[in-house]
Structure 1
Amino acid sequence: METVSFGYSDVSPEEKTERVGAVFRNVASRYDLMNDAMSGGLHRLWKDRFVRRVKPRAGESILDMAGGTGDIAFRHAASGAEVTVADINPAMLGVGMERAKKKGVHGLIWSEQNAETLSFDDRQFDAYTIAFGIRNVTDIPAALREAHRVLKRGGRFFCLEFSTNQWPVFAEVYDSYSHRLVPKMGKLLANDEESYRYLIESIRRFPDMPTFERMIADAGFVRTKVEPILGGVVAIHSGWKI
């Protein structure tokens, strides 16, 4: 039987999709709190840096996948780009729409989508972004192929994701912090230790930077690039469709 990773466990693809959905239903209302716990608040700076690399422009069409709570989409929209926010989880989209209303951000398109089987037309978007979402996809190569399909020729792909740290001493400290403290913080702050434990374990099971860059190239992208941050705690991967 085919299996995929769910944290440190191996489960069927169907079970992973179901269990990841449950995790994000549980954490949707405390998503910023979760990211603060996992990154020490640095995720906000990383997202700013990520969007600067994307360079959204007025009038272009951008798909932000797994972007339910709107963090990346709000930054894109500030440039005047036309942004579609897609997420497989309705609870996450609900949080994002409520946040957009409170922030006075208008004009975003909200769409419930599975990254592996997008309903959009071929060559529809100028840019595809995904931040802290790709590692939760059941079939990552399928999602990358779909990203390539929906991009226009000359379109760009950008992914921000936790990765494998390459600074030996810092890596040991960060690994200890994430495994021991983040789940405990999840229990204390959100009464949900297990969801936070999965999220940390999913980082450890995600491909390292060179491997993931090859996966992006295998999906058809060219001029692939990886930009490690803090030695690879997170990384920005990118590629172009020609």
Structure 2
Amino acid sequence: MTSPDSVSFGYEDVTPEEKTARVGAVFSSVAKKYDVMNDAMSVGMHRVWKDRFVARVKPREGEQILDMAGGTGDIAFRMAREGASITVSDINQDMLDVGIERAMERGIDGLVWSRQNAEELSFGDRFFDAYTIAFGIRNVTRIDQALAEAHRVLKFGGRFFCLEFSTTQWPGFAEVYDAYSHKLVPKIGQAIAGDAESYRYLIESIRRFPKMDEFEGMIKAAGFRHTKVEPILGGLVAIHSGWKV
């Protein structure tokens, strides 16, 4: 069991400082192959999930939106199409560098790229209209602090959206996915990115992440209201949302 002075890094319990450093090393290792691996691991489904996520956010022209843990730009590029002003933030500069390069290749201008720790944002209070984080919150060392910061930087009436892996509740599918993720994903990581251990951690981090109702409770505890959970594939992935009112 995780002690009060430790946090989970996959199936290990480590100090908060060690988790921050080790997660940083993971994403520096996989940055250049991150999007290729997402396609391989999800058979391209992550693109559908992200489209659905952005459709729920409903970015609008003139809005200020913070996309946290948005390094490679996948969510930001989708939201920028709608005319919103997007600040892409990530704790890992290697991930941001990949995103900046991808934006240049696609001719996407106007995005703000900012290295930030989700637990200690440098932005002022009540600055953003929306806060998004996709497949990133489970890698944060202190999730409760990141949620509190999300609440702080949102305007009143601002909205919080999180896309994250969870635990599917479909009978049979959970066992199949569990076997696939633990046995095959590290091998795919080794073949494509030359790094099995980082992908082993990413799978283990999903298993240690709170279940949907528990995470919704954490969002409420941070001060958000009108919270909602939208399961995808029985909860394998979920869209969490809440409002600052």
Same fold, TM-score > 0.5, yes or no: yes
1:87-106 map, 5 Å: 87-106=90-109
The residue that corresponds to 1:29 in the other structure is 32
- Aligned CA-pair RMSD: 0.7
Number of matched pairs: 242
Counterpart amino acid of 2:62?
A: G
Distance 2:216 2:27 in 1: 26
Distance 1:167 1:212 in 2: 19
TM-superposition CA deviations, 1:164-200 (whole Å, max 9, x none): 1101201110111001000011111111000000000
Distance 1:107 1:71 in 2: 15
The residue that corresponds to 1:54 in the other structure is 57
Are the aligned partners of 2:41 and 2:188 in contact in 1 as well (CA < 8 Å)? no
TM-score, normalised relative to structure 1: 0.99
Deviation of residue 37 (structure 1)? 2.9
Q: Are 2:195 and 1:213 equivalent residues in the alignment?
A: no
Distance 1:34 1:143 in 2: 26
1:72 corresponds to which of 58, 72, 75: 75
Deviation of residue 17 (structure 1)? 0.1
Counterpart amino acid of 1:91?
A: D
Q: Are 2:125 and 1:129 equivalent residues in the alignment?
A: no
Are the aligned partners of 1:34 and 1:196 in contact in 2 as well (CA < 8 Å)? no
Distance 1:34 1:209 in 2: 25
1:127-166 map, 5 Å: 127-166=130-169
Counterpart amino acid of 2:103?
A: A
TM-superposition CA deviations, 1:43-100 (whole Å, max 9, x none): 0000000000000000000000000100000001000000000000000000000000
TM-score, normalised relative to structure 2: 0.98
Mark the runs of 5 or more structure 1 residues left unpaired by the alignment.
none
Distance 1:180 1:42 in 2: 19
Identity of aligned residues (%): 74
Mark the runs of 5 or more structure 2 residues left unpaired by the alignment.
none
Distance 1:216 1:156 in 2: 12
2:193 corresponds to which of 172, 190, 193: 190
SS in 2 for 1:168: coil
The residue that corresponds to 1:10 in the other structure is 13
Counterpart amino acid of 2:140?
A: V
Runs of 4+ residues over 3 Å off in structure 1: none
